[in-house]
Each structure stands twice: as C-alpha cells, then as structure tokens.
Amino acid sequence: MTAAPVWSVDPRTGKQREQVGTEATAQEVDAAVRAAHGARAALADRAVRSAFLRTAAAGLDAAKDGLVEAADAETALGPVRLTGELARTAYQLRAFSDIVDEGAFLDVVIDHPDDTATPPVPDLRRYKVPLGVVAVYSASNFPFAFSVAGGDTASALAAGCPVVVKAHPDHPALSELVAGVLRRAAAEHGIPEGVVGLVHGFEAGVRLIEHPLVTAAGFTGSVRGGRALFDAAAARPVPIPFHGELGSLNPVLVTEAAAAERAEEIGDGLAGSMTLGVGQFCVKPGLVLVPSGAGGDRLVKSLTDAVADTAPGVLLDHRMRDNFVAGVSERAALAGVDSPVPPGAGGEHTVSAGFLTVPADRLTEDGGHDLLLEECFGPVTVVVRYSDETEAATVLSRLPGNLTATVQLSSEEAAGQGRGPEILAELTPLAGRVVVNAWPTGVAVAPAQHHGGPYPATTSGSTSVGGTAIERWLRPVVYQNAPQSLLPRELRDDNPLGLPRRFDGVLER
C-alpha cells in the first residue's frame, strides 16, 4: 500500500502548494523513535544540552525570514504575528538553557544518616532524571511556539529527553524546516540528529503514542483528538504520562460595578481579545458574563461597534472554517439567543467575527443550551446577561475546567472592597490562571507562568509554558546508603557541579 502524500496547503485559497513528503509508515515511526532513544546519552551532559538549546535559538533567528514566509504561506497568520511568535520561541529555548545551567530543576535533596530520628534515617540522596523519549503533538494555531521547536520540545530537551514530533497537517513544510534547524544545532554539539524526530500523518500519531520506547507525550489540540490519545496512553501495557491541552472556554465575569464604571473600555478590550488572531488563541474569551442594566447595555453597544468594524479573516484551514460556520449557526439557532453581530462565513475562504447574547436563565434552567458552554474555535464569544450575583454564580458553577478565568472589577472592588476576594475564590477552582482587569490572550513565557487547568483544559496539573514545564519529563530517584564513589556527581557531598540543593534540611544556593 502506497503511503499517502503530505501536501502544504494555502488556507487563503484552499489549494495545494507543494508535496512535502508522505505519511510515515509503521517502520518509519519505529525508526524515528529508536533513533531518538539512541540519542539519550548525548543529552546527559547539562552543559552540552544547554549549548544545544542556545544554538537552536540562534538558528531560528538566523533563518527568520524564510521561516516566517513558509509559516505565513501555510497558516495565513501574517508576518507580524509570526515574527513575534518566532522570537518568543527562540526566547523560550534560551530560557530553558538558563534553567539547565542553574540546575535547580534537578531538585537535589541530601539527608545524612540520623540514628536519633524515629524511625532512624539512613543516608538518602534524591534528584530527578529524564524519562526518555517524549512524543510531541504539534498545535495548529501556533506553528512556532507550540510546534516542532515549541514549549513541549524545548522543555523535554532541557530535561534530557529526546523528542519525536508528530507534525501538524496545517504546516508540514514549516515543520520540516524547523526540524532541520534543530538537527543542525544538535550536530554542532556532537548530538545525533535523531534527537529530534519528525513524522507526518494521523496513523503515525497513533503509532507514536503506542510505541514501547516512548515514555511520555505532550499534546495541544482538540478535546476529541487529545482524549483519544490520552486514553491510548493509559491503555498501553505500560501506561505513560500524557500532558494534553484539549480545550478551554476561558470565562469572563464583569461585575455590575465594573460595567457601570468603564463599560466602553471593557467592551473594546473584549473585542480585541476575542478577535485576536481571528479568534484562534487557546485562551480566547469564549463566554462573558455581563450584568443586565444600563452598564451592561453600554458594554454590549461598545462590543457591537468594535466587532462590527473587524475585517473578515482566514482561519488555519478549511475544515476549521467549516466547523466554525456550522458551530456558530447551531448556537445562534437556540431559543433566546440573539446575534447583535452575526458570526459566520465572510467569503469563500474567510470568516466574519461576531458574538451572541443569551439570558443567563437559559443556562441555569434547562440543559438545552449546553452547547454554549463548549468552546467554538474562531472569532466568536457568547455574552451571558445575568440579573444578579446568584445567577452569575450558578452559570459559573456549570462550567468545565479552563486555562483561564477573568474578572473585570471596579476600582473599589480591585482595592479589596466589596466581593472582589470572594469572586477570585469562586474563579480559582475553574482555571489555572486567574486574570484581573486584563484579558487572557497572551501567555507570557516567565518562571511564574502556568498554562494549564482542570480537565478538559488539560489532562494533568502541569503547565506547558514557563520554567516548570520541564517537570513533566522528569521522575525522582533516591539512592540509599550508596558510597560516594558510586553516586552521580549531582549527589556527592562536595557538590562538584555547584548545584542548588537541600543539604541536611538546609537550602543551599
């Protein structure tokens, strides 16, 4: 049976641009995984892999023009957006290089024997080691930052884990180019190029999660696809960790006082956030609780004016366009739902931004409007008009887990007066990041960042952005009563690597 060809497609026209290759066979997936497995020893030296990450970042910078051109041809996201995303991706590689150099991620803890303790404590030395080969499933909407050289790959390599990436079908040519940059960077430091494998095709993605040498997986995509892979990872003879980002509604609560104080500002900000990148951000606000009354009416008027002025845009592929058009049509047909700015088809290849409104009681009294509580990928949001705090709280209680939850407070509420603290306490169980008087779109790469949340936002409690993303690809191991001469250098008393550690209960830096 001949392998299916892999084509680069222009989302602006729907036409095939060039054949990139063919979908990986079972033998090719096996070869990629085994090559990655064979590269593990080359990543063992922290100095080598730190230098590798920095060289990879420099390689992306050097190839910027060609990479951005290729990305725009396959995604239609535009050179400005893509240039910024590429810079973020290179920064992320350098940030993980710094983390590797520092060494705190190894979490070294040393306890010497203590016969006076109850029970007695033997000599115990703990640190973290890499899991092994990591399968990475690229996202459609971030062709750089959540793809071949994105956060999953960068954090896995930083942890000392080789990767095999399943390329996203929306940008296969770009995926090959970026993989080439990483492989050349690896070769400069004596690391086998197989340390970064790349495969194409749906079946290849399934075979990858099932391969016995794959020890963990990172995924960004749909609930349906992510859940299927999550179940496959759990059903293996030896189950493996599956860190999936699946979907998020990213609710926003606008208090009555905030709407009265700055309705127009909030409406404009919401319009910018929900239409950013043609609504294709994983943290797009998809459901917004707005009070009934004059302040809420002003907010909706401001939102109407801003969204109506938004030009039609191109989604990442025609399948997503078709799903968006069908999804907004189905939602708009529900009883009690209005469309102040109707979302839908903007042309043969584009979509128009819009939003829907619905009374909160439609979401609290029956189950016929549950569709409004599901993510709709694209430039649309649902404005829920609530009559009082109890009604708003009831809607929030029905929401699944999210990446973000946002509250727009008045100046007095933000100063701690009124229900501000109580509202934050209500939102915290819903999401991994709680945003106050700002908008969730934009996920900073920073040590304190958390990009994750309760299911179905993610399948684990970890983050895919920020320094702690490295923890997903490590496991702790303890040596008991091992002689100094047999210990890894990281665990020796004289600390030859100069690592931060906890030594007999005292934190050393």
Q: Is 245 a catalytic residue?
A: yes
The Cα angle at residue 458 between residues 229 and 276, in degrees rounded to 5? 110
The CA-based dihedral angle spanning residues 155, 78, 202, 373, taken in that order and rounded to the nearest 10 degrees:
80
Contact 135, 217 (CB under 8 A): yes
Pair 353, 311: CB distance under 8 Å:
no
What residues contact residue 181 under an 8 Å CB cut-off, 6+ apart? 56, 59, 60, 63, 67, 149
Residue in 472, 466, 445 with CA at minimum distance from that of residue 160: 472
- Candidate list 28, 74, 176, 245, residue with the active-site label: 245
Phi–psi pair at 354, nearest 5 degrees: -170, 180
Retrieve residue 411's tokens: 């100046």
282 included as an active-site residue: yes
Q: How many CB atoms lie within 10 A of CB 322?
A: 12
DSSP state of 121: B
SS3 labels along 351-375: EECEEEEEECHHHHCCCCCHHHHCC
The crossing angle, in degrees rounded to 10, of helices 79-102 and 151-159 is 20
Alpha helices per DSSP H over 309-453: 318-332, 361-364, 389-397, 411-414, 420-427
196 neighbors 179 (Cβ within 8 angstroms): yes
CB neighbours (10 Å) of residue 101?
13
Within 73-190, strands assigned E span 108-111, 124-130, 133-137, 163-166
CA dihedral 344, 328, 432, 209 (to 10 degrees): -90
Who contacts 505 (Cβ-Cβ below 8 Å, separation ≥6)?
A: 111
The kind and range of the H/E element at 379 are none
Catalytic entry in 176, 282, 375, 376: 282
**Cβ atoms of 431 and 457 closer than 8 Å:** yes
Cis peptide before 119 (omega within 30 of 0): yes
Helix (H) or strand (E) holding 262: helix 256-275
Whole-angstrom Cα Rg for the chain: 25
Q: What does the CA dihedral 136, 138, 143, 149 come to, rounded to 10 degrees?
A: 0
The torsion region of residue 28 among left (phi > 0), alpha (psi -120 to 50) and beta comes to: alpha
CA dist 28 and 26 (Å) reads 5
> Which positions are annotated as active-site residues?
245, 282
